Structure 1
Amino acid sequence: MAVFNKVEFDNHEQVVFCADKESGLKAIIAVHSTKLGPAVGGCRLWDYVSDEDAVYDVLRLSKGMTYKNAVARLPFGGGKSVIIGNAKEIKSEALFRAFGRQLERLSGSYYSAEDVNITCADVAIMNKETDYVLGLEGKSGNPSPFTALGTFLGIKAAFQHQRGHQDLSGVKVAVQGLGAVAYTLCKYLHEAGAELFVTDINQASIDRVVTDFKATAVSIDEIYDLDVDVYAPCALGATINDSTIERLKATIVAGCANNQLAEGRHGEILRQKGVLYAPDYVINAGGIINVFYETSPEGYSAQAATKHVEGIFDTLTEIFTRSEAEQKSTHLIADELAQEIIANGL
């Protein structure tokens, strides 16, 4: 399998393929950059169709973490890992201990944390074999509420820039994907007076949000066609693509999913359509910000983490303003901001 000639390969410092026969572990760890500090990014457990899909995902996500950590002004580089398999079938203590041993072999160049299908309990098992993990219970814990808060504030920043106010009363929001982060985001939006339209592959997740927040359930495909103010992608990436982008009626795209644009050119298409896009790795940085405060010499502080997360509003406002002034898509402005910080330091 070729790696170096993949479009997603961006001078990654290290890409490690890991296997453990006894536990069934098959994993890939990608370290994109350690210029600002050790690479930090979550571990995702996913049943990829092919090994190539897993490589594609881990390369994109690790680069995204470099940029996310830089724009969030964290002394972290960027990395990511994926474990290949069905979460309902392969999870075991042996699996996560084996992965922990793989992390240990990297000697601190990469720290892992939770991501899709990985819980704080899973990370705690890794911790039995290595100290190179973050997001532990009793320390920073579950990052989801902080990611949700940052996403909510990002939606408000988009409204402030586009419409001159932050009042979400009566605003219609289409939320795609209803995992832990999206559930809390829906809670914030409901309390702010927004009207929710939701979808997910899990019916129980839909039912919960419909019951708790008076949301309207729609089909997975229908979510793109709704006459709403905001489209909030909160599942897996690449939902802004050639087949969906012309269907969107929302004037704001702001959600917590990673890699929302299937290709960079889709960011410019959104701009030309008059759609304000909140770059994914900026708006969803709340979780990694919270994790950073676990490393504080003074000990973890939820108050300090929350204050830092609130800065996402100001960062997005800067990006939106620069985008308008320079007539460039917001995702390019975000990339330029990240590159400036990486080049010049925090």
Structure 2
Amino acid sequence: MDVLNTMVGRGHEQVTMYSDPESGLKGIIAIHDTTLGPSCGGTRMWPYATEQEALTDALNLSRAMTYKSAAAGLHLGGGKGVIIGDPRTDKTEALLRAWGRFVDTLGGRYLTTTDVGTTGRDLEAVRQETQHVLGLDVTLGGSGDTSVMTGLGIYMGMKACASDVWGADDLRGRTVAMQGFGKVATHTAEHLIEEDVRIIATDINEMALDRARQMGVKVVGPDEIYDIDCDIFAPCALGGVINTQTIDRLRCSIVAGGANNQLATAEDGEELHRRGIVYAPDFLINAGGVINASAEIGQPYNPDRSRQQTERIYEQMSAVLTTSRKQEISTARAADILAESRLDSVRRMRRIWRG
């Protein structure tokens, strides 16, 4: 990859790499855009096969965070941290504290929280080395587990899509196929179960499948999930799962889930639109986590305020659906327009102030 040209082409401001031989840390922080405020995004720890794969993930995820915060009305930019390693075997206090020192060198341009492979307990170690951490446990003055509000936001996004497709946002009796049953999917499922939704799920983690079974969720194999006859297909694992190979297999009216960067390419969003499948743009409906974390900034955390703002995802999704229909464009493009219009307006305002 030609890193600098890729950064320029996608609007990235900064990419920083860091290593700590003593702890074994190899990490990357990508800052996409700080027009609206300091960049914010979780730290992901994953056993990437190559450094190229880790860099690509950091670039893609940081850009998505810019759009997520912009669409949600937050005063934050987009950033992402990735650590190359297996969180089950490579994670140590020394590594996490080294990561904290890395984050601290950026002087607040990047605020970190949890993501795939990291937990609230991990943040406590990171916090020993830097103040630029969000999402600590509520007992430590933080906003706690970001997956709770993320799950709520996805549920609200599903209901907004249901209203558009079926004329009512009641999900009772509907079937949702969930690809991945981690923390976010679990919290989403809790809301769905309360509404008597039938859930069919898959995951590569046996503990996640056991949790699903205990909740009364039917479990299928990882590859079977695409062929389930359902009302809503919910990608809740890693990205790129909506692509030319999988779209043909989908048997749903709506795609709405918690995974980041669900579309392998922008064209896949257009293809869903052509086929009449309503897509809930991931950065729009999975914004509950960053909304929750942002509620810590500059004031005591208030869970009611966080919940109210997360519930507005319903309105934002409805607005995107309306734009999609009026302009005859995909929901993916309509959501981009929503985020880009806010970024552009702030940039124009800054140029005016500077004379």
Q: Does TM, normalized by the shorter one, top 0.5?
A: yes
Partner secondary structure for residue 90 of structure 1: coil
Task: Return closer, same or farther for 1:20/1:88 CA change in 2, 3 Å cut-off.
Answer: same
Aligned counterpart, 1:190 = 193
Query: 2:244 aligns to what SS in structure 1?
Result: coil
TM-score of the pair, normalised by structure 1 = 0.97
Give the equivalent residue in structure 1 for 2:40: 40
User: Of residues 272, 285, 288 in structure 2, which corresponds to 1:286?
Assistant: 288
Q: CA deviation at 1:296?
A: 3.5
Cα distance in structure 2, aligned partners of 1:203 and 1:120: 22
SS at match of 2:148: helix
Please give the alpha-carbon distance, in whole angstroms, between the structure 1 residues aligned to 2:207 and 2:38: 38
Q: Are 2:72 and 2:291, in contact at CA under 8 Å, matched by a contact in 1?
A: yes
Whole-angstrom distance in 2 between the partners of 1:184 and 1:337: 27
Q: Structure 2: which amino acid aligns with 1:46?
A: W
How do 1:166-245 and structure 2 match up within 5 A? 166-212=169-215, 214-245=216-247
2: distance between equivalents of 1:172 and 1:245?
Answer: 18
1:272-307 per-position Cα deviation (integer Å, ceiling 9, x unaligned): 11100000000000000000111142x100000000
User: 1:90-137: CA deviations, max 9, x gaps?
Assistant: 111100110110111101111111000110111111110000111111
Q: Which residue of 2 aligns with 1:312?
A: 313
Seen in structure 2, the aligned counterparts of structure 1 residues 64 and 202 have a Cα distance that, compared at 3 Å, is same
Q: Is the 8 A contact 1:9 1:59 kept in 2?
A: no
Q: For residues 307 and 156 of structure 2, what CA distance do their matches in structure 1 show?
A: 12
Q: 1:271 aligns with which of 245, 270, 273?
A: 273
In 2, are the aligned partners of 1:8 and 1:56 still within 8 Å (CA)? Answer: no
1:2 deviates by: 2.8
- Whole-Å Cα distance in 2 between the matches of residues 197 and 64 of structure 1? 28
Q: 1:9 deviation in Å?
A: 5.4
Structure 1 counterpart SS, 2:246? coil
Q: What is the SS of the residue equivalent to 1:131?
A: coil
Moved more, 270-279 or 134-143: 134-143
Aligned partners of 1:110 and 1:132 also within 8 Å: yes
- SS where residue 135 of structure 1 aligns? coil
SS of alignment partner, residue 89 of structure 2: helix
Give the TM-score, by structure 2 length. Answer: 0.95
Per-residue CA distance 1:56-108 (angstroms, 9 max, x = gap): 10000000000100000000011001000111111111001101101111011
For residues 122 and 219 of structure 2, what CA distance do their matches in structure 1 show?
31
**Percent of residue pairs bearing the same amino acid type:** 44
Task: In structure 2, list runs of 5 or more residues that go unmatched.
Answer: 350-355
Instruction: Report the Cα offset of residue 219 of structure 1.
Output: 0.7
User: 1:134: which partner in 2?
Assistant: 134
* In 2: Cα distance, 1:290 partner to 1:91 partner: 26
Which residue identity is paired with 1:4?
L
User: Residues 14-33 of structure 1 correspond to what in structure 2 (within 5 A)?
Assistant: 14-33=14-33
What are the Cα deviations for residues 121-165 of structure 1, in whole angstroms up to 9, with x where unaligned? Answer: 111111100001111112201111100000001100000111111
Contact preservation (8 Å) 1:252, 1:277: yes
Distance 2:297 2:198 in 1: 38
Whichever residue aligns with residue 257 of structure 2, its letter is: G
| SS of equivalent to 2:15 | strand
| Partner SS state of residue 315, structure 1 | helix
Letter in 2 for 1:158: C
**Deviation of the 1:226 alpha carbon:** 0.8
What one-letter code is carried by the residue in structure 2 that aligns with 1:194? V
Task: Tell me how far apart the structure 2 counterparts of residues 211 and 147 of structure 1 sit (CA, whole Å).
Answer: 22
8 Å CA contact 2:7–2:13 kept in 1: the answer is: no
Query: Which AA in structure 2 matches 1:64?
Result: A
> Matched residues in 2 for 1:183 and 1:16: separation?
34
Q: How does 1:243-254 map to 2 (within 5 A)?
A: 243-254=245-256
**Matched residue type, 1:288:** V
Cα-Cα RMSD: 1.3
The answer to whether the aligner puts 1:149 opposite 2:140 as a matched pair is no
- 4+ residue runs over 4 A deviation: none
The alpha-carbon deviation at position 11 of structure 1 amounts to 2.5
Measured at CA, do residues 7 and 109 of structure 1 come closer, stay the same or move farther in structure 2, by a change above 3 Å?
Answer: closer
| Separation of aligned partners in 2, 1:4 and 1:334 | 27
Aligned equivalent of 2:353: none
Deviates more, 1:174-183 or 1:3-12: 3-12
Aligned length: 344
Q: Could you tell me which amino acid in structure 2 is paired with residue 140 of structure 1?
A: S
- The 3-state SS of whatever aligns with 1:220 is coil
Q: Which blocks of at least 5 consecutive residues in structure 1 are unaligned?
A: none
Q: In structure 2, the residue corresponding to 1:168 is in which secondary structure?
A: coil
Contact (CA 8 Å) 1:8, 1:60: kept in 2 or not?
A: no
Q: Distance in 1 between matches of 2:174 and 2:97?
A: 46
1:54 maps to which residue?
54
User: Which residue does the alignment assign to 1:69?
Assistant: 69
